[in-house]
Structure 1
C-alpha cells in the first residue's frame, strides 16, 4: 500500500459515487492530477468486499444527504483503520462529522466533492491517516510493554519467594535464563508465571 506517498505519487483510488456524471468529473480531475488507478463504485451494496478487491491507497466517498446509519455503514465498509478515507457530504449533517471523525475517517468535507479541491483533501487525508496510524502503533507498543512489565514483576516475585533472593537477583536470573535460551526476558517470565499457575 502506498500511503507513504502524497498525491504526487501514483495511487490506487476507489471513488464511491452513485451519480454517473459526478463520477466522471471526479475521475477526470484525479487523472489530471496524476497517473492514478481509479475505480468507481456506483452501488454501495457489498461495499467492503468491493473496496477490498481493489486494495486502494485511499477511498473517496461522495454522499448527498447522509444519515447516521448510512455513515456508519460506509465508514465500516471503507476500512478507515486500514487506509485513508475522505468523505464528502453535500450539506451540514448535524453531528455526523464528529461521528465520522471518531470512526477514523481521515477527512470530512462539507459542500460536496469539488474536483479542484481533490488534491489538497487527499494529501491532507493521507497525512492525517499516517499520523493516527503511528499514534495507534505507539499506543499498542506501550500497552504491550506495560503488560510485559507486569508479567516480569510477577515472575520476579515468584523467584524471590521460591529462592529467597532479592528483586535484583531475581531479575538477573530471569535475564541470564533468557540469554542462555536465546529468548526475551518477557517470554521467560511468561513461561515461569504459566508454569507456576499450573503447579499451584
Structure 2
C-alpha cells in the first residue's frame, strides 16, 4: 500500500485553512500540513518535502504570486494556486512561474480533488518534457563533439568519415568509454596543443 499524498496548504486565514483541511480529508487520505506565514514557506517546504503545494490567496499581486510560486519549488513538485480574483495576465504569470494549476473564483470543496489530480498530471507531463528536452540537448551537444573529433581524425590520419568514426568507436570500446567521452577528450587535448 502506498503512502498517503503529502500536501502543504498555504493559507493565512485560520478558518479558511480549516475548511481546506476538512475538504481534503473528505476527498481522500492525505498527510496535510498548514503553513500560515508565507515568509518561512521555502524553508518549511524544504523541510517537509511535500508531494504537492496548495496555495489559497485572495487577490495576488504579480510579485506575491511569483514569490509564493518560486518558494513552493514548482520544478520539484506540483503547485496548485486558488485565488478569489485575478487581474489581467495573472494566470499567464502563474503558469510562467511554474504553477501547475491556477484556479480563479476561490476554492470550492467539490473541485478540490479534481484540480489536485489535474495539477499532478500536468506537472508530470511537463517534467517528462523537461527531461526529454535535456536529453535531446545533451545528445545534440555530444553529436557536435563527435563530428568535430571525426573531422580532426580525418585530417590528421587521412581517413574517410566512416573510418574516422570506426576508429573513435574502437578506441571507446578498448577504453570501456562512450564514443562521446573519447571524442570530448580528443577535442580537449587538441585545444591544449593548438
Which of the five TM-score ranges fits, normalised by the shorter chain? over 0.9
Q: Does 1:135 align with 2:106?
A: no
- Unmatched runs of 5 consecutive residues or more in structure 2: none
- 4+ residue segments displaced more than 2 Å: none
Report if the CA contact (8 A) 2:70-2:98 is conserved: no
- TM-score of the aligned structures, taking structure 1 as reference length: 0.94
C-alpha displacement at 1:13, in angstroms?
Answer: 0.2
SS of structure 1 residue aligned to 2:121: helix
2: distance between equivalents of 1:80 and 1:92? 20
CA deviation map 1:107-136 (0-9, x unaligned): 000011122211000000000000000000
Which sections of structure 1, spanning at least 5 residues, go unmatched? Answer: none
Q: How many angstroms does 1:92 deviate by? A: 2.5
CA distance in 1, matches of 2:107, 2:75: 22
Matches of 1:96 and 1:33, distance apart in 2: 28
Which of the pair has the greater relative contact order for Cα pairs under 8 Å at 6+ separation?
1
SS of equivalent residue, structure 1 residue 46: helix
Task: Tell me, yes or no, if structure 1 residue 177 matches structure 2 residue 171.
Answer: yes
What number of residue pairs does the alignment pair up? Answer: 193
Distance in 2 (alpha carbons) for counterparts of 1:73 and 1:103: 9
Deviation of the 1:32 alpha carbon: 1.6
CA RMSD, Structure 1 to Structure 2 (Å): 1.1
User: Out of 12, 15, 27, which is 1:21 matched to?
Assistant: 15
Structure 2 equivalent of residue 144 of structure 1: 138
State the secondary structure of the residue aligned to 1:108.
strand
